[in-house]
Amino acid sequence: MDWLFSIIRIAGAGFPVASSLVQLQAEIDSKNLSSRVRRLEDPISGIHEDVPKVGKVIFEALSIQNELDIQLAPECYTDFARPLAMLESQGYIKGNHSTSHRYYAGITLSDPSFVMYLCALFEDQARMQQLISIVESCKPGQWLNGVSLASELFLPQPIIKSVFRIYESKGLGLLSKESGTINYLGKA
């Protein structure tokens, strides 16, 4: 099919049918370019076309279960097998598998950037901005209590923990390893 569009571009508008086909080729090229740019801007959605759909299901489970280890409805593992496998291969999630059943114990949201991707799509942006502002203004030696922040901002605790993990990974603070807490100590 590429040969056809090549010859049409050469023939140009000199032939009556060619001009409309040149316009069609330009529109196809524009859509292809848009798709490529979208994948660069949003690489997670570019993994598979159903990632935003399964992302919504995962975000709802995260919000309801208030954990990074979540269980999805059994049909989700079948309906979204491919995007889940692809997300897992990229390290965004970790499946809890057995030899007899994939995802027998659900999935773990292992990458905090994936949680932020979900928040960008589905969480209240004003609340997210408040959270980021609070963490950004955390002074060295200051502690932030994530459980309290979650309650104040009406955000699920895993979102707070994911933000703290991202800031910790950049050397800006420390996330407490104490079980049952989500505390963050500002370092810089």
CATH label of the domain that carries residue 151: 1.10.10.10
Token readout for 18 is 């060619």
- Residue 7 confidence (pLDDT): 46
- 84 inside domain: yes
Q: How many angstroms separate the CA atoms of 84 and 101, rounded?
A: 14
In this prediction, residue 24 has a pLDDT band, given cuts at 50, 70 and 90, of low
pTM of the model as a whole:
0.78
Residues 31 and 16 in one domain: yes
Residues 131 and 84 in one domain: no
Distances 143 to 73, 126, 135, 147, 181 between C-alpha atoms, Å: 37, 23, 10, 12, 12
User: Token match 């963050």: residue?
Assistant: 184
| Backbone φ and ψ of 37, nearest 5° | -65, -40
In this prediction, residue 37 has a pLDDT band, given cuts at 50, 70 and 90, of very low
Whether the per-residue pLDDT at 6 is higher than 50: the answer is no
Residues 66 and 53 in one domain: yes
Q: Which amino acid is at 142?
A: Q
Whether the per-residue pLDDT at 162 is higher than 90: the answer is yes
Residues 138 and 103 in one domain: no
8 A C-beta contact, residue 167 and residue 122: no
Whether the per-residue pLDDT at 31 is higher than 80: the answer is no
Share of the chain above pLDDT 90, in %: 67
Residues 136 and 174 in one domain: yes
The chain-wide mean pLDDT, for the chain, equals 84
- Give the CB-side neighbour count of residue 59, counting CA atoms within 13 A: 18
pLDDT in tens, 56-114: 999 999 999 999 999 999 999 999 999 999 999 999 999 988 787 788 889 999 999 99
Q: Which amino acid is at 12?
A: G
Other Cβ atoms within 10 Å of 180 Cβ, number: 6
8 A C-beta contact, residue 164 and residue 135: yes
Residues 132 and 181 in one domain: yes
Beta bridge partners of 95: 107
- 138 inside domain: yes
Whether the per-residue pLDDT at 44 is higher than 90: the answer is no
- Residue 55 confidence (pLDDT): 96
Domain residues for the domain of 80 are 46-108
Residues 101 and 69 in one domain: yes
Residues 33 and 75 in one domain: no
Q: How many angstroms separate the CA atoms of 171 and 39, rounded?
A: 29
pLDDT in tens, 111-141: 999 999 999 999 999 999 999 999 999 999 9
